[in-house]
Amino acid sequence: MGKNVTEPAHEIDIGRYRVAEEPYYANVRGEVELFLTAAKCRMPVMLKGPTGCGKTRFVRHMAHRLNRPLITVACHEDLTASDLVGRYLLKGQETVWIDGPLTLGVKHGAIVYLDEVVEARKDTTVIIHPLSDDRRLLPIEKKGQIIEAAEDFLLVISYNPGYQSVLKDLKPSTKQRFMAIEFDYPAAAVETEIVRREAGVEYEVAGKLVKLGAKVRNLKNHGLEEGVSTRLLIYAATLIREGIPVDQACDVAVARPVTDDADMQRSILELVKAIF
Ligand code: ADP
């Protein structure tokens, strides 16, 4: 009684993974040129840095620029190799193989972005190792196949060293397969332009929020777990644009998201008063 295996039952439209409109991205420290070179040389890329400092926006911008589909996977602790590679599913009477996002990207020459890869289960590293060296191979264990990555396939991972502990870190054997582009908060002038543009506020408001951002980031040395992200500064600016009073906007978009400590929140609101 052999099972009826059909493949591929339904073609996935890779076109829907294309980034239609160019996402705005301010090149902060030459990362655009580095990424273009990595793509040309088919070198896997690791984006390192804190949350909300532009990694996702950067990948979308680059995918558009290179005109390659972008497949993003938000990694989490239950993510297995099968989630990435694919699995057989029962559809009516048939057993159908469904490509996972990684297989799809490997076949179609996409940029596959594994966001926060360290969160994924350890068996995923077994999958990405042969893909991220010069073999560029993806083993599909369940099908007994090994497929070679298409010319344009590019593996990109993100990694926030700030969150890592000894128990949860990328193994050196994984890290050392990627070129690493370091992301950090942009310089004040660049960040001001980003906040102004993204939130549609006056230059002056953006400038003050960026100044606040710098001061809050300094609090990191005084017990704050992570500095305020560019994303949060954009949230605060957006609320101000919509008419929320400055202190309230900074309270809900800066002070409360970055810390649960009431004293620390008060210190941040003191900074708001001093700046605005
Ligand atoms: P990450 O992926 O690092 O967590 P995101 O890419 O989501 O962060 O960035 C958060 C927001 O900050 C973006 O939506 C974008 O508005 C803004 N941003 C940060 N850096 C830049 C940059 N260099 N150019 C344009 N926008 C940026």
- Of 28, 46, 156, 194, best ligand 1 pocket probe by most atoms within 8 Å of the beta carbon: 194
pLDDT of 224 reads 82
Q: How far apart are the CA of 59 and the centre of ligand 1, in A? A: 10
Q: How far apart are the CA of 237 and the centre of ligand 1, in A? A: 14
Is residue 231 in contact with ligand 1, taking CB distance under 6 Å? yes
Residue 222 — φ and ψ, nearest 5°?
Answer: -115, 35
The tokens for 130 are 């042969």
- Distance of alpha carbon 57 from alpha carbon 73, whole angstroms: 14
- Distance of alpha carbon 83 from alpha carbon 73, whole angstroms: 10
- Name the pTM for this structure: 0.90
State the pairing for strand pair 45-48/154-159: parallel
pLDDT of 105 reads 97
- Distance of alpha carbon 43 from alpha carbon 267, whole angstroms: 45
Q: Which residues contact 239 (CB under 8 A, 6 or more apart)?
A: 248, 249, 252, 253
Q: How far apart are the CA of 56 and the centre of ligand 1, in A? A: 7
Taking only the tens of pLDDT, the chain with its 276 residues reads 344 444 454 567 898 999 999 999 999 999 999 999 999 999 999 999 988 999 999 999 999 999 999 999 999 989 999 999 999 999 899 999 999 999 999 999 999 999 998 888 888 888 999 999 999 999 999 999 999 999 999 999 998 887 655 556 788 888 899 999 999 999 999 999 999 999 999 999 999 999 999 999 998 877 788 889 999 999 999 999 999 999 999 999 999 999 999 999 999 999 999 999
Please state the atom number of ligand 1 nearest to the C-alpha of residue 47.
Answer: 3
pLDDT of 1 reads 39
Q: Give domain 4-182's CATH number out of 3.30.70.890, 3.40.50.300, 3.20.20.70, 3.90.1170.20.
A: 3.40.50.300
Q: Is the ipTM, as predicted for this complex, more than 0.85?
A: yes
Given a contact cutoff of 8 angstroms between Cβ atoms, the answer to whether 216 and 227 are in contact is yes
pLDDT of 256 reads 96
